[in-house]
Amino acid sequence: MTTSNLKISELEPNQAVELLLLVRRKNLARSRNGRDYLNLKLGDRSGEITAFLWDGAAAADAAVAEGDCVLVRGRTQIFNNALQLTVNSLEPWTGEIDPRRFLPHTDKHVPTMERELHQLIADCKDPWLRRLLEAFFLKDAEFARKFALAPAAKAMHHAWLGGLLEHTLSVARLAERVCGLYPELNADLVMAGALLHDIGKVEELVYERDLDYSTPGRLLGHVTLGAQMIRDKAVQLKGFPPETLMLLEHLILSHHGEYAFGSPKRPKTREAIVLNFVDDLDAKLVAVDRFMARSGREGREWSDYHRLFERNFYLGGALSDDSASRQDEEASAPDPPTGPGLLF
């Protein structure tokens, strides 16, 4: 029986399997009787399983590396009250890889979110800002594809596929409401900043098999990358107003608010202040919601101590269905190390 469409969390004892899995960890070891074997941790987005390959262990160890996607054939069994996998064959996978198989992803409907984003662009009254937004999201198909798939962060908030689109729309909705309360704001500029503030994350993060930082992400960061992407697109729009470009770049370069949080500039316009606060609000609420959902699974009244926020959170016995369901999609993980700017 082939179970190639199943997740690790759905496997049962004594089940023949043929699965695409990631090699999380591997170790070539030797048994007491002198026989080589390969000890593996294999995973998908639902969890991990310990696996053992006995035949051809040294060759398999040389053929695959940690982080590789492999086609695994074998059979599950229970050992010491835990499910494990005896591997009959293991070979590198050279075909197309769907990141959603290995990484958590948004529970929102991506095409619906994309339509909402397109409507926000259509509602933009400033013709230059609208053309710039269209150049990214409507006319650059490769960018739009990456943007819809990308996470918004490696940890803490929206750290799942589709998280960047989800976060961007939340920031845009908040910005729209704030601008309705303060008519003196340049609403089109705020909206353009909201939609573009994190576009550098499509280059800052890699998210095919695991979620990590790219080399440009480590060396430059998404703030710098995003500002450069905007300038490059604007230059292609002949006649784009220099002051409009400068004000928009300032929104991108200052949206983290403080130097300590990785912001090259602090907000120095009303529009930049708005973007900084609505971005921070969405990031923090989602981060706290995720943390509370993980803590709340033990049925306690208070969460664990959150090192980044330096406090416990009151659970009150009421967790949202969305928060609980999100945790079912994510493997449990320790809190990331604390430090300034980790929410972003």
Both tokens assigned to 317 = 């016995």
Is there a common fold for 8-97 and 103-285? no
Instruction: Give the CATH number of domain 103-285.
Output: 1.10.3210
Class of 8-97 per CATH?
mainly beta
Question: In one letter, which amino acid is 121?
Answer: I
Contacts of 236 (CB under 8 A, 6+ apart): 135
Other beta carbons within 10 Å of 286: 23
Domain borders along the chain are 8-97, 103-285
Smallest CA-to-CA distance from 191 within 254, 117, 83, 85 is with 117
HEC assignment per residue over 140-192: CHHHHHHHHHCCCCCCCCCCCECHHHHHHHHHHHHHHHHHHHCCCCCHHHHHH
pLDDT 10s digit of each residue in the chain, 344 long? Answer: 344 678 898 899 999 999 888 898 999 999 888 899 999 999 888 888 999 999 999 999 999 988 888 999 999 999 888 999 999 999 898 888 778 788 888 989 999 999 999 999 999 999 999 999 999 999 999 999 999 999 998 877 888 899 999 999 999 999 999 999 999 999 999 999 999 999 999 999 998 777 889 999 999 999 999 999 999 999 999 999 999 999 999 999 999 999 888 889 999 999 999 999 999 999 999 988 888 887 766 667 888 888 888 899 998 854 444 444 443 333 333 444 333 344 55
Both tokens assigned to 325 = 């369901």
Strands 47-53, 82-92: pairing kind: parallel
Smallest CA-to-CA distance from 326 within 285, 278, 294 is with 294
Q: Extract the runs of DSSP E, i.e. beta strands, from 45-173.
A: 47-53, 69-79, 82-92
Strands 205-206, 47-53: pairing kind: unpaired
Q: How far is residue 158's CA from residue 14's CA, in Å, rounded to a whole number?
A: 37
Bridge partner residues of 57 (DSSP) = none
Q: How far is residue 232's CA from residue 236's CA, in Å, rounded to a whole number?
A: 7
Half-sphere exposure of 268 (CA within 13 A, CB side): 10
